[in-house]
């Protein structure tokens, strides 16, 4: 990731437009985490802190966050404003004063993450927002018949890595909804289970964690196989078969309890 743009480095017109929403900025901290934005800031004003992220205009990730935010406020911070000025598109969110989730074995964060995923499942928006189907990102990688197996109308985050899960006030907050999709209800459970394995959770314990979700227990075996195959092909094409081997092994492990 390239260096983040700090608050003083933003164009004056952009800073002025932000301060029209926040009030005068007393302090600004550039935050290092996240991959989808050119700047990420904690701005302090007389009324408190605001999290600001963004980049050049016409970035799809920004618009997905704007579109999805009204539907995910039960599990994520509220979008307060959007500023488009001088070639920049910035979003201001409620500040979550928390830390990144610990997904390692036995972590007290795991029940909180599970509760956030259950809340997301239980509060699915109807009608759903107009975000792309999950299968669309794999259109060139799916074998005949696999796309039909992976349909669904659940709103998914699809990137539940620990940096996108903040723990605060005894809750897990899902942030950075830059890659939403519509798909099977169990898909975010699958993605998060892979993240548990990345955090050194043994396969059996990770699958036992997933098995607590009714949507996972109800997942169609063929659909899960198609999901795993599509993700493995994606990583093969993105980083090459050798570099993809560890990630693909974790995805393949999702099939461990399937008949």
What pLDDT, on the 0 to 100 scale, is given for residue 1? 47
Using alpha carbons, list the distances in angstroms from residue 217 to 45, 163, 191, 192, 208. 47, 27, 15, 15, 10
DSSP β-ladder status, 88-94 and 79-85: antiparallel
What pLDDT, on the 0 to 100 scale, is given for residue 256? 84
User: Same structural domain for residues 112 and 63?
Assistant: no
Domain for residue 117, yes or no? yes
Domain for residue 211, yes or no? yes
Answer whether the bond into residue 132 is a cis peptide, omega within 30°: no
What pLDDT, on the 0 to 100 scale, is given for residue 60? 87
For 46, the token pair is 């007389």
Last residue of a domain, one of 94, 115, 149: 94
What pLDDT, on the 0 to 100 scale, is given for residue 36? 72
Domain for residue 2, yes or no? no
Number of domains in the chain: 2
Domain for residue 258, yes or no? no
pLDDT tens digit at each of 259 positions of the chain: 468 899 999 999 999 999 999 999 999 999 987 667 899 999 999 999 999 999 988 788 899 999 999 999 999 999 999 999 999 999 999 999 999 999 999 999 999 999 999 999 998 888 888 999 999 999 999 989 999 999 999 999 999 999 999 999 999 999 999 999 999 999 999 999 999 999 999 999 999 999 999 999 999 999 999 999 999 999 999 999 999 999 999 999 999 855 4
CA-CA-CA-CA dihedral for 120, 121, 126, 128, to nearest 10: 70
- Say how far apart CA 39 and CA 82 lie, in whole Å: 14
Q: Which domain holds residue 106?
A: 100-253
User: Same structural domain for residues 60 and 141?
Assistant: no
Instruction: Determine if the pTM surpasses 0.75.
Output: yes
User: Same structural domain for residues 17 and 55?
Assistant: yes
76 within 8 A of 177, measured Cβ to Cβ: yes
Q: CA neighbours within 13 Å on the CB side: how many for 246?
A: 6
């Amino acid at each position: 990731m390239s260096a983040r743009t700090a608050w003083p480095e933003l164009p004056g017109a952009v800073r002025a437009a932000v301060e029209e929403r926040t009030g005068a900025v007393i302090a600004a901290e550039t935050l290092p985490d996240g991959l989808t934005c050119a700047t990420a800031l904690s701005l302090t004003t007389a009324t408190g802190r605001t999290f600001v992220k963004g980049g050049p205009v016409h970035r799809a990730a920004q618009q997905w966050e704007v579109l999805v935010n009204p539907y995910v406020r039960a599990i994520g911070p509220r979008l307060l404003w959007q500023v488009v000025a001088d070639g920049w598109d910035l979003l201001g969110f409620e500040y979550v004063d928390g830390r990144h989730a610990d997904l390692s074995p036995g972590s007290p964060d795991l029940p909180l993450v599970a509760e956030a995923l259950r809340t997301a499942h239980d509060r699915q928006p109807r009608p759903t927002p107009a975000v792309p189907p999950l299968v669309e990102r794999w259109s060139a990688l799916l074998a005949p018949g696999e796309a039909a197996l992976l349909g669904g109308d659940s709103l998914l985050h699809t990137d539940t890595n620990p940096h996108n899960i903040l723990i605060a006030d005894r809750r897990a907050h899902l942030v950075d909804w830059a890659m939403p999709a519509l798909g099977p209800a169990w898909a975010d459970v699958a993605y998060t289970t892979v993240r548990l394995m990345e955090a050194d959770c043994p396969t059996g314990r990770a699958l036992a964690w997933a098995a607590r979700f009714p949507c996972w227990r109800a997942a169609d075996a063929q659909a899960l196989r198609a999901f795993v195959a599509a993700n493995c092909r994606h990583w093969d094409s993105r980083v090459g078969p050798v570099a993809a081997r560890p990630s693909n092994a974790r995805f393949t492990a999702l099939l461990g309890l399937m008949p």
